[in-house]
Amino acid sequence: MLTFILLFFLLNIPLLVASFIYPRCFWSMKKNEYQDRNLGTGCMFFILAVQQPVEKKYFSHISNIQIPTENQKYPLALAFSMNEINNNPDILPNMSLAFKCSEDSCYLESQYNSLFSLALQNHEILPNFICAEDIKCGVVLSGLKWETTVTLHIILNNFMFQQFRQLTYGHFHPALCDHENFPHLYQMASDDTSLALALVSFIIHFSWNWIGLAIPDNDQGTHFLSYLRREMEKNTVCFAFVNIIPVNMNLYMSRAELYYSQIMTSSANVVIIYGDTGSTLAVSFTMWESLGIQRLWVTTSQWDVTPFKKDFTFDNGYGTFGFGHRHSEISGFKYFVQTLNPFKYSDEYLVKLEWMYINCKILENKCKTLKNCSFNHSLEWLMTHTFDMAVIEGSYEIYNAVYAFAHALHEMTLQNVDNLLLDNYKEQNYNCKKVYPFLSKIQFTNPVGDTVNMNQRNKLKEEYDIFYNWNFPQGLGFKVKIGIFSPYFPKGQQLHLRENILEWSTGSIQMPTSVCSADCGPGFRKVWKNGMPACCFDCSPCPENEISNETNVELCVQCPEEQYANQEQNHCIHKARIFLSYDEPLGMVLSLMALCLAALTVVVLGVFVKHHRTPIVKANNCTLTYILLIALIFCFLCPLFFIGHPNSATCILQQITFGVVFTVAISTVLAKTTTVILAFRITAPHRMMKYFLISRATNYIIPICTLIQIIVCAIWLGASPPSVDIDAQSEHGHIIIVCNKGSVTAFYCVLGYLACLAFVSFTLAFLSRNLPVTFNEAKSMTFSMLVFCSVWVTFLPVYHSTKGKVMVVVEIFSTLASSAGMLGCIFVPKCYTILCRPDRNSLQMIKEKSSSHTHIL
């Protein structure tokens, strides 16, 4: 099966290529015939198999029959087909096909029913019926409306002509597919399932999605509407309106204004017309054109859209597209017709009679000139070229119907050779009845290479040629083949349009738009309106950090974490990786502040070392003072770990160093406060206090407190240490490289422990604030711990309310501020005394102050 399908595609490729290399152009001419035009005409023929030769001159009487011009193509196609079969020695040996054509062959549809009734009342045979003994079998071939076809079928099968079967070459109608009610009726046309798919593919190609539709109010229109709606829903194409035109003329005329207004008020620029040409729909379409409705009409190719108005405007930006069943060319048709009557069937008359075609390449270099020429000049140009006559639509169905009957009769004769020579009339009828099972199952390839299958259930899907119609003044029409549609090609490649031919024929490759809502471009998404079709929507900008880089998207796409949406929100841009660096102003200021404060602390340490023998230095415990100053130096240098590109080492060091050095600094303050208290209380007879002071037990406060903090930090490193992390959300367009705290619980344990030490130090210092001034550091340490606690209490809400680099800045600033608070509150007054008031830094002054203080107490 796969091999067969592959072979089928390979065989179709040359045909497809050839059709595009030599695209067809068709000419048609309708001149001042509008008043005499009969929209409801149809033809009916009896095809007969006779045991006698039928020469070509047998068909010459067709040229003398007075029938409407638009119907003359049908008997000509019938005659051509029969003549081709009669001259073929491989089909129907010793038999010929014949028919009788008269002026009664083509009637107005309204006349057929009265004709049938009159024939039955008068016991007359139907028109064109040949009653002769040499008739073998026959079929009725009709192209009437389906109601008249049903009436004819009932008469044939229930009254008098049961040996005849009926073939229809008209438009496919689903009601005639009922094999129980119409067992002997065969439709040559295929179902229009593929037409719906072809139309939708064509609509999508031009990015249309807002389409109008006009169909007849019958089963034919209803079935097509269901096919078309199913395909449109699959591809998000919507109906702007659906005009269901009543079949009854009186009912239609009462609503004609409504249908006209519906088209005029609609924003749809593309309207599909589907249905029989001999109907109220054709009247409606003619009226719409005559009233000047400018729309792009999309129809099936049997619709004659050549205008009859003399003042028709060519370059109006609109036109008509037609879809016709695709088939290979039938050679020799024009030669056959002109040999019947060369004087009547001139090229000019054939152009009026039916579409004529030439190679489009002939016109390409004269295209612009031809567009602007008058009717007489264009007709002169037309007559200077050689054309072939095209067998299209109904004519091609007649061609296949004749061959189907011939092949069925031929198959039957091969199996019943012995019965062919019988002259008994009943036997002839018996043979005729036997041919019809063959007819219902016959499948053959016609002379042009197309496959014909009479089994309606197994018919192949139709392929379509796509045409564009030019209209010139005085009813001269020009139809250009611009592409094909084949359902046998892969999905998405079924429609093939020649853009250069389309541009040449329409004058522009840019077709009018037909959409309910303008496309939502990149950066926007569709938001549907309540109660409106899917094609009607509003365009809303994509949410923050989401993009859409295509048109008409329903959902915007979130940019990856390492990217961000540009201003137009149609492209994701890689975020720049940033961190608090030394190169940026803020990093430079903070690092400079840290270094300056550390240098200042070194200077203070130097001052204290230089004046270590002075009373004020000795009175404040030199060792603890040096430890505190060294700890403050490291506290000021600690922020340098927060600046620069983070890595695993700096992330660990910045947190561990911060916790340990601040623990040393605060525990030193605690030790100094405890020492001052013990020193003052030594005058009291407390043996235990005296022991602590003499044994310097207060010096163990620092290592013990620091050891506890080191243990907490060790647990932190073991459980979840700090690490390098990225913050892609805090700052638009940037990825901030930061240090993740790891275990947040451990981080707050470190802060909590520092807070406990600071609170204890603050409490002791506050309680000892009234000790003698000479030996008292309590007030300075009280203020230093107050500043320290204030800074870090403020730090917590500010820290949690910021993101990205600002968090790092807040932590650095808090570190510097709390360290500077301790330095300033504790050591600035002492440095002022040492450097600026050396007179107060003497033993005699200390004794005097001590005596005065004792006297006050």
Q: Could you tell me which residues are beta bridge partners of residue 578?
A: 736
Q: Which CATH class is domain 42-190+392-463?
A: alpha beta
Integer distance in angstroms from the first to the last C-alpha of the chain? Answer: 119
Residue 10: is its pLDDT beyond 50?
no
Return the higher-pLDDT residue of 491 and 457.
Answer: 491
Q: How far is CA 133 from the centre of its chain?
A: 68
What's the confidence (pLDDT) of residue 242? 93
| Distances from the Cα of 601 to the Cα of 620, 643, 754, 804, 841, angstroms | 17, 21, 21, 30, 21
For the question of whether the overall pTM of this predicted structure is more than 0.75, the answer is: no
> In sequence order, what DSSP letters do the residues of 297-315 get, joined into one string?
EEEETTS------TT--S-
What's the confidence (pLDDT) of residue 105? 63
**Cα 453 to Cα 459: distance, rounded to the nearest angstrom:** 6
Which of 655, 263, 139, 327 minimizes the C-alpha distance to 663? 655
Question: Which H/E stretch holds residue 822?
Answer: helix 805-836
Residue 523: is its pLDDT beyond 70?
yes
Place of tokens 């045909």: 15
* Dihedral sign of CA atoms 528, 534, 537, 542 in order: positive
Confidence of residue 281 (pLDDT cuts 50, 70, 90): confident
- How do residues 334-390 score in pLDDT, each as one tens digit? 888 888 887 788 777 777 766 677 666 655 555 544 555 555 555 565 655 666 777
Residue 733: is its pLDDT beyond 70?
yes
Task: Give the relative orientation of helices 193-205 and 219-234 as an angle to the nearest 10 degrees.
Answer: 40
The lowest-confidence range among 188-197, 388-397, 704-713, 787-796 is: 388-397
65 φψ region: left (φ > 0), alpha (ψ -120 to 50), beta (else): beta
In sequence order, the 6+-apart residues with CB closer than 8 A to the CB of 295 are: 212, 263, 268, 269, 270, 271, 288, 318
What's the confidence (pLDDT) of residue 388? 72
- How many residues make up the chain in this entry? 857
- How do residues 412-452 score in pLDDT, each as one tens digit? 887 766 554 444 444 444 456 677 778 878 888 888 888 88
Mean residue pLDDT of the chain comes to 77
Confidence of residue 310 (pLDDT cuts 50, 70, 90): very low
Domains of the chain: which residue ranges? 42-190+392-463, 524-574, 585-856
What's the confidence (pLDDT) of residue 671? 84
What's the confidence (pLDDT) of residue 611? 82
Return the higher-pLDDT residue of 663 and 369.
Answer: 663
DSSP state for residue 730 in the 8-state scheme? S
The lowest-confidence range among 135-149, 557-571, 587-601, 679-693 is: 679-693
Token duo for residue 372: 């602007």
Listed in order, strand segments (DSSP E) in 101-153 are: 106-108, 135-142
Cα 765–Cα 771–Cα 774 angle in degrees, nearest 5: 110
- CATH fit for domain 585-856, picks 3.40.50.1100, 1.20.1070.10, 2.60.200.30, 3.60.20.10: 1.20.1070.10
For a pLDDT cut of 90, what percent of the chain falls above it? 12
